[in-house]
Every structure is written in C-alpha cells, then in structure tokens.
Structure 1
Amino acid sequence: MSYPSAPPPGYDDRNPLHPPPHGGYAGGYPTGHPGAYPQPPPYGGGYPQPGGYPQPVPAMPTFPMSFGDSYGSGGTEGTEAFSSGDWDNKKVRHAFIRKVYSIISVQLLVTVGIIAIFTFVTPVSSFVRRNVAVYYVSYAVFLVTYLVLVCCEGPRRRFPWNIILLSVFTLAMGFMTGTISSMYSTKAVLLAMIITTIVAMIVTIFCFQTKVDFTSCAGLFCVLGIVVMVTGIITAIVLSFKYVYWLHMLYAAIGAIVFTLFLAYDTQLVLGNRKHTISPEEYVYGALKIYTDIVYIFTFLLQIIGSRD
C-alpha cells in the first residue's frame, strides 16, 4: 500500500494526526469558526481510522513442546525468554541423565557382585549347576517385574513402588545372569565383562557425538526385536533335541549385534535432542532399558567367547 508524499488540498497540517474526512474540507474551515478545527460529528459517525503503518504487535513467547535441547528452527532464538527456557530445560535433561546413569551404576554393581559370587564361590556355583530350576524361578521373577515396569505407567512413576519393583527386577536379573555365568569358565566371564564394558562406553560416547538419529528408526528396531525373538525360539527348539554349535553361535552373534543397536537407541532416548525422547519423569524406565541392553550384550558375548566347563 502506497502513501501520498504531501497532504491533500485544503488540509491544515497543524495537526497531522487528524486527517480530513473523505473528500477534505471544501474551502478550508467552516464559516463562523475562523481559526478553529471543525467539531466532530455526532456519535455514531466519526472520522475514518487514521492511516499509516500498522502498529507493531509484541511476539508471543515460544515454549518447547518436548524436553530436548533443540526446538526446531521456528523459535525466537534471539529473545531472552527463549534462552532462559532453553537453559531451564537443559538443566532438567542433565539432572535426568545423571539420575538415570546413577541408577544404572548401582544396578551394574549389584549384578557384578552377584556374578562374582556365582563364579568364584564354588559351593554356590555347584548348587546352581545341580538345581537348574533356580534359573527358571529367577527368570520368571525377572519377566513379571519387567512387564509391570514397562507396561504399567502408574507403578513405574509412583514412589516407592517404582524403586521396589526396580530393585526386585535388578536382583532377579542379576541372579539369572549369575546362574548363566556359573556355567562358563572364569576366564570367559571376565573377558565378556571387559568387552561389554568397552562396547557400552563406545556406544555411549558415540551417541553423545553423532548426528545420526537412531530414534527415527523405531520401526526398524521393532523388526530387529522380532528377528531376535523368532531366532531365539527356533534355536531353543532345535537345541532341545540336538546341540548345533553353529546355530548357537549364530543366534548369539545376532543377539549381541541387535542389543548393541538397542543400546544406542535407548541411550539416545535418554539423552534427548532427537526425534523421540523420554520424559524426565521416566528415569526408572530409562535406567531399566539401558541396564537390560547391557546385561543382554554380556550374556550373548559370554555364549560366543565362553567354553562350558
């Protein structure tokens, strides 16, 4: 829209904020009122709205819809409000990450302690080897607590039930892993622990540095989980009739690779700044997923490099 560079004829510029009505004042001011502006018309009429550029409207502050470190390109990154919200959410995410990895550290310490007892204490390892039913009991407890924590949001978020269930789950999985470790040589167990530690550290550092978003491939990871499950069922059926070494090693290799990818996926869910992320309220769920991935990597590596006593 263009605006004239000079006022229309008959317009008195002593008050430029009040332009004349449509058509202007013919012949200047009305007679009988020399030196004065015309009186406004009665109520209901009025002058047209003053022209000029529209008044600036203050921008509405933008709030992130997720607890990530990146909010897309549509935010007003130069405003003070955005910077404050950005830092607040970073603090929330960093506190969440510290809480998750603190829980994982305690879980892994408990699991390593149980594995050490089952591996180095001869009476315990001998008892477990003679009573295989102990393994199945621990597996049942592990499976029930895992399903409750994964499928039921209430117990998973409500204190102290979430800590109690997570503790029972950790003890059951540690007991189950210790039972498996007692079937292998001490050298194989230590080597599997070392390799698992290296793999977990490399994957974590890689997820901190890489721009590859594993969380955007949720469908692929679902397919990989189905592949591992089907392969495990087939392997268990075949090995129950006859032990086939290459099939056992193939299943262990597939499981180790897939759960390493799962570890990368779950780590990025915890770290945030990706397509999908975990809410800061789900610290139990985040610790559960990463801990399970690490333990499964250990058990599959133990099957690959270990030799039965």
Structure 2
Amino acid sequence: MWNQKYDLESAETPLYPMMMESPELRWSFIRKVYSIISIQLLATIAVAATVVKVEPISVFFTTTNAGLALYILLIITPLIVMCPLYYYHQRHPVNYLLLSIFTVSIAFAVGLTCAFTSGKVILEAVILTAVVVVSLTLYTFWAVKRGHDFNFLGPFLFGALIVLVVFSFIQIFFPLGKISVMIYGCVASIIFCGYIVYDTDNLIKRHSYDEYIWAAVSLYLDVINLFLSLLSLLRAADS
C-alpha cells in the first residue's frame, strides 16, 4: 500500500490514495501539461495585447466586410481545429501545430473582445481570473490528496453548459438588457470555476500520459472562458 504522507513538493508520494502508476510519471505529466498551458496563456496575452494596442487591427475587423468575415472565421476556427486535434493529439508534431492554430485563433478573439473594453475592467478581470484559477487548482490538489473525487460534477456541468449556450443565443437574437448580461456573466463564471476543479481532478487521476495535449486544451479553455465571463460581468457592471 502507498505511503500516505502527503507532500506536494515530493515526486515520490502518490497524488491520490489509489494511484496505480509511478508517481514520477504522473508528476512529469502534470508538469508537462502546465508548461503547455503556460505557453498558451503567454501567447494569448501577447496576441491579445497586440490587437488591443494596434488600433488599426480592431478597426479593420469592425469596419470592413473582409474584417467581419475574418472575425467569423477566427471564431469558428477553434471548433474546426478541435476535431483533427482530438484525432491527432498523440501525433507529434502535428498536435503542436494544431494546438498553435487553436491558441492563436482564440487569442485574436480575446484581443478583439478586450479592444472594446476599458483597461480598468480588463485588469480587474485578469486579477480575478488569476486568483480564482490558482486558488481552485491548489484546493483541488489538496482535496484529491485527501481522497475527494470530483468526477460527479461532470453531468451537472455539462447540463449547465448547455443552458448557458442556449441563453447566450437568446441574448444574441433577443437582447435582455444589462441585468441579464450580469446574470449570464455570474452564472458562467461559477460554471467554469466548476470546470477548473473537474478538469484538474481529471488531470490528476484520469488522463493518460499521452493525453497531455487534450488535458492542456481542457484547462486552457476553462481559464479563457472564466476570464471572458468575468469580463462580461464587470463590463456590464461598469457601463
């Protein structure tokens, strides 16, 4: 039986009580996933900051037909890339190429969203996102080390996400006003907080070592969606 001394800094202790694989291998996998996510987030910040700072970019996307078409393409590109990325997520270097396209397209969309938001609101959303992500990640590691399991959240989060998507479409075609936007941002933030816990739990327990790309994509999307939800909430409150 595994020694139950829980030391987050040690690679020789199990990450959870019933782990059947080498702790060194699992820790190596976790470090690899968080390294990929860090690079994705840095790339997102760099691209988004460029879009925000270089005003002609946002003007092009919002005032020209070509820009509008390109904006729509950027929005659907991550959805298109997800299919081959899922199929080739274990095939190097195709998986990294697809991941790069996926990340850059999302980064442009985030940048265009931030381009029409005040700097104060963006800074508040960034700080809140960072604090929440770090706190929930540390909490999940702590809880899992003590035998807690968050797999039960899956069906509830999926159902809540479907409701959120339907509500967002209603907002697009039948705007319900500032209060509804704030409610949407608040509910979406809670849902993606749940997804951070759920996907971190999967990272620790369920993803195989070869699924590092897919694990990184899941957590990256959780962080980005949490940021956009908080941005939506704070922007509506600030208006």
Under TM normalisation by the shorter chain, which class is it? 0.7 to 0.9
**In structure 1, C-alpha distance between the alignment counterparts of 2:167 and 2:84, rounded to whole Å:** 25
**In structure 2, C-alpha distance between the alignment counterparts of 1:262 and 1:194, rounded to whole Å:** 19
Say what the alpha-carbon RMSD is for the aligned residues. Answer: 2.1
Match of 1:95 in 2: 28
1:279-298 alignment runs, 5 A limit: 279-298=208-227
Match of 1:135 in 2: 71
Gaps of 5+ in 2: 1-13
Which amino acid counterpart does residue 207 of structure 1 have in structure 2? T
Q: Does 1:178 align with 2:125?
A: no
Shift of 1:68: 6.7
Which amino acid counterpart does residue 45 of structure 2 have in structure 1? V
How many equivalent residue pairs?
Answer: 219
**In structure 2, C-alpha distance between the alignment counterparts of 1:196 and 1:146, rounded to whole Å:** 24
Alignment deviations for residues 97-124 of structure 1 (CA, whole Å, 9 cap, x no partner): 0000000000000001112112222332
Greater share of helix: 2
**In structure 2, C-alpha distance between the alignment counterparts of 1:190 and 1:132, rounded to whole Å:** 27
Q: Do 2:184 and 2:233's aligned partners in 1 also have CA atoms closer than 8 Å?
A: no
Which amino acid counterpart does residue 71 of structure 1 have in structure 2? M
Change (3 A) 1:182 1:284: same
**In structure 1, C-alpha distance between the alignment counterparts of 2:131 and 2:121, rounded to whole Å:** 15
Q: Do 1:129 and 1:183's aligned partners in 2 also have CA atoms closer than 8 Å?
A: no
Match of 1:226 in 2: 162
Q: Does 1:125 align with 2:88?
A: no
Match of 2:141 in 1: 208
Match of 2:191 in 1: 258
Alignment deviations for residues 65-112 of structure 1 (CA, whole Å, 9 cap, x no partner): xx974338xxxxxxxxxxxxx6x6101100000000000000000001
Compute the TM-score of the two structures, normalised by the length of structure 1: 0.66
**Among the aligned pairs, what percent are the same residue?**
30
Which amino acid counterpart does residue 157 of structure 1 have in structure 2? Q
Which amino acid counterpart does residue 137 of structure 1 have in structure 2? L
Using CA pairs under 8 Å that are at least 6 residues apart, name the structure with larger relative contact order, 1 or 2: 2
Q: Do 1:128 and 1:182's aligned partners in 2 also have CA atoms closer than 8 Å?
A: no
**In structure 2, C-alpha distance between the alignment counterparts of 1:195 and 1:146, rounded to whole Å:** 28
Shift of 1:233: 2.0
**In structure 2, C-alpha distance between the alignment counterparts of 1:176 and 1:164, rounded to whole Å:** 19
Match of 2:11 in 1: none
Q: Do 1:145 and 1:165's aligned partners in 2 also have CA atoms closer than 8 Å?
A: yes
Match of 2:3 in 1: none
1:1-309 alignment runs, 5 A limit: 69-71=16-18, 89-130=22-63, 131-150=67-86, 152=87, 155-210=88-143, 211=146, 212-239=148-175, 244-272=177-205, 277-306=206-235
Change (3 A) 1:180 1:133: farther
Shift of 1:180: 0.9
Structure index of larger Rg: 1
Q: Do 1:129 and 1:182's aligned partners in 2 also have CA atoms closer than 8 Å?
A: no
